[in-house]
Amino acid sequence: MSGYAVLKGTAYTLAAAQDMVLYNGTTQTTERIVNPGSEYLTALPKHLRSFEEIVSYIPNQVYIGNASPDVLEGLALPWHDKRLPNSDELGTKGKFGEIISQDMFIGLMAISDAFDLVKLERSFAEQVREKLAKHELIGEEKSAPIAKNQESIEIITELVEKEHAEAIYFNGALVGAVKRAHDVDINLSAHVMLENLATKASSVFSLLCLLRSTGIDPGDVDYVIDCCEEACGDMNQRGGGNFAKAAAEIAGLHNATGSDVRGFCAAPAHAILSAASLVKAGTFKNVVVTAGGCTAKLGMNGRDHVKKGLPILEDVISGFSVLISENDGVSPVIRNDITGRHTVGTGSSPQAVISSLVTNALESKGLKITDIDKYSPEMQNPDITKPAGAGDVPESNYKMIAALAVKKGEIERTEIADFVKKHGMQGWAPTQGHIPSGVPYLGFAKDDIMAGKINKAMIIGKGSLFLGRMTNLFDGVSFVLEANSGETEGAKASDFDEKKVKGLIANAMKQLADSIMKE
């Protein structure tokens, strides 16, 4: 076990984005083009939540580590109208990360802007700068660039109306704009630049939270892998850019290099396997996998939510970061030799997919489905997906895994419900594609393993490659997180104690001398 990389720490962040739901979520922007006077768009603003409601929402508190997934077990849907018993004691900061307000997030976008594309109205800019300057992870130095924003609202309006800039709103009022980065290149349009800056900013904040939660020196991070669902580049290499180094620069990881991994929803699992392999190979000591969120998916299921009188629950930009390092003899190891993979020839039936990701990997090491204590597949929040007709996604995955266990003779058909309860969890992650795909449980898995509650957890990433119209294939990879045996490279080396070796040599020489003397 000494050669495996370990999971050292995690960070999970959320940024309120109520106005971005209206103006940047593709469900709404498409509706505005096709049917600008629709009942849905008219009713939508009344269904937006306040920042306080976003913070107190139970799945959000679970996401940042203020509550265990166990609190959702048996809690009747809907969840949006319920509160935790100690909700008054809980705030924006959790064990794993933090929730920030929309105005602070806009300020982070300005801080993350390297090409002077974000323009904020002067009074709004100053208010945001003051808030971020007081934040322990941002401070005066990082927030200082916001002060250059001295634009009047008239200039902002002109940029939006005449220069094809993308408007930024806060509480319904125009407060800024993102300029286009090129007059002709659609890959550098204002729309794309806003999406990419939002992704970068949410990744930056997650990286900063990871530095805080792990205590690692920023200079000790060697490599960063970004696995979001956006893409940066220009007309000559669309999607060829590097979010990883862009975010690492703002977060202060001055010794890190990095690159991006893309695989739709499965990208985080691909990226973590890559990171673990790089560390195991000795290429790098500390690798961070990170991803910002996606403005396009804000309010993605909004029509169904409004139709059923629910608030818009897809109103946050998510982010996560994980630190993967050399074996310390304590942290859970990433068993990248127990790896499930959806191959080109696997097929797309649910049974074929789960078999390739779960049973094939386990059987290669002589393990049973029941040997995994917890499975973390697509952990979408059912409070969001069920009203939209998509059902309970995690539950569907667990039932499929249980069905395979029945087929393998590991459990009886009558035990499926018990299997789901024992080896599964309720979903709590925002529906931002790559964000729910296995990784939300990593923080809890690390804690549960180190506390001795569980021994093994399987993280499953699945992706819909057909969305890119390049192939009809599905995708997915999985890996196992396991308790550390305590055996490290240092521990193995200590088996060959220098004094012990010298003693053995001396004893052998004495025996040889004695035998010569006898002769």
pLDDT class for 506, splitting at 50, 70, 90? low
The tokens describing 277, both together, are 């392999």
Q: 120 near 149, Cβ under 8 Å? A: yes
pLDDT at 493: 40
Averaged over 172-178, what is the pLDDT? 98
Q: Which residues contact 42 (CB under 8 A, 6 or more apart)?
A: none
Q: Which residues pair with 121 in a beta bridge?
A: 151
pLDDT at 511: 62
Percentage of the residues of the chain whose pLDDT score is greater than 90: 91
Residue of 122 and 90 predicted with greater confidence: 122
The pLDDT tens digits for 218-242 are 999 999 999 999 999 999 999 999 9
pLDDT at 350: 87
**pLDDT(304) > 80:** yes
The pLDDT tens digits for 320-338 are 999 999 999 999 999 999 9
Q: 35 near 206, Cβ under 8 Å? A: no
> Which letter does DSSP use for residue 355 in this model?
I
- Other CB atoms within a 10 A radius of the CB of residue 93 amount to 16
* CA separation for the pair 479, 337 (Å, rounded): 8
Percentage of the residues of the chain whose pLDDT score is greater than 70: 93
pLDDT at 7: 98
CA atoms within a 13 Å half-sphere pointing along the CA-CB vector of 432: 33
Q: Residue 79's Cα: distance from chain center in Å? A: 22
**pLDDT(428) > 70:** yes
**pLDDT(42) > 80:** yes
pLDDT at 496: 46
Q: 11 near 320, Cβ under 8 Å? A: yes
Helices 416-423, 393-407: crossing angle, 10 deg rounding? 120
Q: Which residues contact 383 (CB under 8 A, 6 or more apart)?
A: 59, 77, 78, 79, 80, 313
- Nearest CA-CA partner of 13 in 47, 87, 49, 64: 64
Give the largest CA-CA distance in the chain. 110
**pLDDT(497) > 70:** no
pLDDT at 88: 77
Specify the length of the chain in residues. 519
> Which letter does DSSP use for residue 378 in this model?
B
The pLDDT tens digits for 333-361 are 999 999 999 999 999 898 999 999 999 99
Torsion angles phi and psi, residue 42, rounded to 5: -70, -40
